[in-house]
Amino acid sequence: MQSMLIVSGIGLGAASGWASSATELNKDYRTYYQDGRIEYGNIGDSYNADLVLYLAGNQFMVMDELIKDFMKKHPNIKTTYVETIPPGQILKQILGQGQINGQNTAMNPDVYASVNLGHLKQLHEKGLMDRYEIYTHNKLALMVAAGNPKGIAGPKDLARDDLVQSHPNPITEGIFKFYGAQMLKDLGIYEKVTGNAMCKECWAIKGKTWFTQRHHRETPDRIEQGLADVGIVWTTEIIEAKKHDRKIDGIAIPAPLNMADKVGYAAGVLKTGRNHDNAMHYVGYLRTKAAQDIYAEYGFIPATREETALKPIPAM
């Protein structure tokens, strides 16, 4: 019997109108102001904001509430620039000049956060970061069309020949690179699902498995448009989509295949950042009850006090 994700305690609002347009992608680049304003797509703010945060994209839904609460507690911080895209892509921006919409983006954010400590270890090896904290957790799930018309029961069904799939790419999407791929390997179906392809925004297996560029936008779009039947996502993305009345449902993945025991969001302060004190205020804020409660509200799993304490980044 399929295990449907139950979403409770969340008021359903009007459709969000999310799309893969350039306008919507600009929402991955936000500047927050003390007066409550939010501006989108001002890439140049990565060079001059009072606090610059480059964060793994799958927490995009939390940012408005989280950053507004943080800035209210720190009125001296007038502007906060937040980028929420795949953590592997962010790492490339830090280690080598990256561009967004044809514009150079700063290589020295104040804080970097990923879904895998391995990314922070690379920064440590380059002498760019010394300490980290784990501030929240997540787990894998399957996104399907509303009502689950294909009767998908769980991750083993990803081996079925009658399904068109949409999964995060294995190059820049940490959810797949570190966790989704391992789940498929544990099930013995990795090659069947992916064809061992290494690409993004491409057919891994033509007509069968699509690798996205940014899965939290593409996969729900493709499922709603009838271009895909199922996709590996974070549980929090299903909760967020249903909050906005999107025509999708979720199928829970049982432990340990859901990787809940391995997924930890790691953040650290870059030594090259312009706003060290503000960055330290932010990572300190993440361990507060207020921040932990906000993440939990969106379906994330709270971190323990021990996990949120700053500690040395281990060697590679």
pLDDT at 18: 33
Residue carrying the six token digits 């879904």: 115
Q: What is the mean pLDDT of the chain?
A: 91
Please give the distance of CA 1 from its chain centroid, rounded to a whole number.
Answer: 29
**Can you tell me the distance from the alpha carbon of 132 to that of 299, in angstroms, rounded to the nearest whole number?**
23
pLDDT reading at 1 higher than 50: no
Task: Note the pLDDT tens digit of each residue in 266-313.
Answer: 999 999 999 999 999 999 999 999 999 999 999 999 999 999 999 999
CA distances from 100 to 38, 79, 168, 237 (A): 18, 20, 20, 24
Over residues 8-37, the pLDDT tens digits come to 222 222 223 333 444 455 789 999 999 999
Give pLDDT, residue 302: 96
Q: What is the pLDDT of residue 20?
A: 40
pLDDT tens by residue, 215-227: 878 999 999 999 9
Distances in Å between the alpha carbon of 123 and those of 127, 263, 296? 6, 19, 28
pLDDT surpasses 70 at 235: yes
Distance CA 118, CA 131 (A): 13
Q: At 79, which helix (H) or strand (E)?
A: strand 79-85
Distance CA 51, CA 82 (A): 8
The pLDDT value given to residue 98: 87
